[in-house]
Amino acid sequence: MTSGKPLVIVTRRLPDIVETRMRELFNAELNMNDRPMSQDELVAAVKRAQILVPTVTDRIDVSVLSHAGPQLKLIANFGTGVDNIDLETARNRGIIVTNTPGVLTEDTADMTMALILAVPRRLTEGAMLLKTDEAAWEGWSPTWMLGRRIYGKRLGIIGLGRIGQAVARRARAFGLQIHYHNRRQVAEEIEQELAATYWESLDQMLARMDIISVNCPHTPATYHLLSARRLNLLKPTAYIVNTARGEVIDENALARMVDAGEIAGAGLDVFEHEPAINPRLLKSNRVVVLPHMGSATIEGRVEMGEKVIINMKTFLDGHAPPDRVHPAMF
Ligand code: 8YV
């Protein structure tokens, strides 16, 4: 018997423990086949749901939100990035938006560090070679499969928020020098802890770094922040790692430049038009591509689900949900 409980529509499958709890607490409509919803299905959902739980694969834009019924009061996003949601339109329609910050910080920073290590040291290239053609290895050679040293190099972090700082902590342990560009300079204690150098000018920072890590959200202000012009400022020996959002980099320009040897390589967990990936990036030996796995740990996904539930419960109990997102924050 579910009557009396608020209708919550969840767009994708979530970990079992999260779905079970949602069933207990709400009239939860779950997506058992996990197929991403079409825009028409999203429209149908916002016409009926009191709370919508979308993910990065749902585009909750104005064409969806303009059909929202007056009963839709909360969009509790399963994810930290909220670029899949038109925040301005949601606010104008009196719909609260929440996200899941904090719980995926360490996992995403681990994956970022893994890419920072993997790309210059040609880790997947070497591993793939043995998997696909063991005979291609004739034995150790002093000059074969040489990569670039990581220790002592300059890491430029774009966006020194929670994840950026967690990346910096790890990178310091590997002997990287920490540089960053951010909308605002971070507190002095954080800069001191990370021995981080602030660059007000992104252009100037780009020209001097050995590795760039993108850790800022995708917003109108960061769309193609790494444009063709800015990518051209990088040293040809520089590497780029992106575990944030594909839209922050002009993907076609990056693909062209990696192919032309104007950038040494890239480690990408996110893409501009997911799940599509520029074929040049896919093919290049100098590029490590991952299918958006930054937060993909069992622990992380359960904690994200728990955060979604806390936001919904708090809201339904008549209080301000803890992870409320305001358009100005993004
Ligand atoms: C999530 C992410 O898996 O939270 C984010 O912003 O990019 C991912 O780690 C995804 O967004 C879930 O909706």
Handedness of CA 25, 28, 32, 38 (dihedral sign): negative
Residue 295 Cβ < 6 Å to ligand 1: yes
Please spell the DSSP secondary structure of 81-120, one letter per residue. --TTB-HHHHHHTT-EEE---STTHHHHHHHHHHHHHHTT
By DSSP bridging, strand 27-29 and strand 7-10 are parallel
| Distance from Cα 137 to the centre of ligand 1, integer Å | 38
What pLDDT score does 2 carry? 47
Q: What are phi and psi of 7, to 5 degrees?
A: -80, 120
Query: Rounded distance, CA 282 to CA 235, Å?
Result: 22
Distances (CA, A) of 253 to 60, 271, 282, 297: 28, 13, 14, 31
Distance 58 CA to ligand 1 centre (A): 11
CA-closest candidate to residue 205, choices 244, 238, 172:
238
112 lines ligand 1 (CB under 6 A): no
Q: Identify the pLDDT of residue 4.
A: 87
Distance set, CA 186 to CA 180, 195, 208 (Å): 10, 12, 21
pLDDT tens-place values along the chain, 330 residues long? 446 899 999 999 999 999 999 999 999 999 999 999 999 999 999 999 999 999 999 999 999 999 999 999 999 999 999 999 999 999 999 999 999 999 999 999 999 999 999 999 999 999 999 999 989 999 999 999 999 999 999 999 999 999 999 999 999 999 999 999 999 999 999 999 999 999 999 999 999 999 999 999 999 999 999 999 999 999 999 999 999 999 999 999 999 999 999 999 999 999 999 999 999 999 999 999 999 999 999 999 999 999 999 999 999 999 999 999 988 888
Q: Report CA(56)–ligand 1 centroid distance (Å).
A: 6
Residue that is written with structure tokens 């930054």 in the block: 294
- State how far the Cα of 167 lies from the Cα of 112, in Å rounded to an integer: 7
Measured between alpha carbons, how far is 214 from 190 in angstroms, rounded to an integer?
Answer: 19
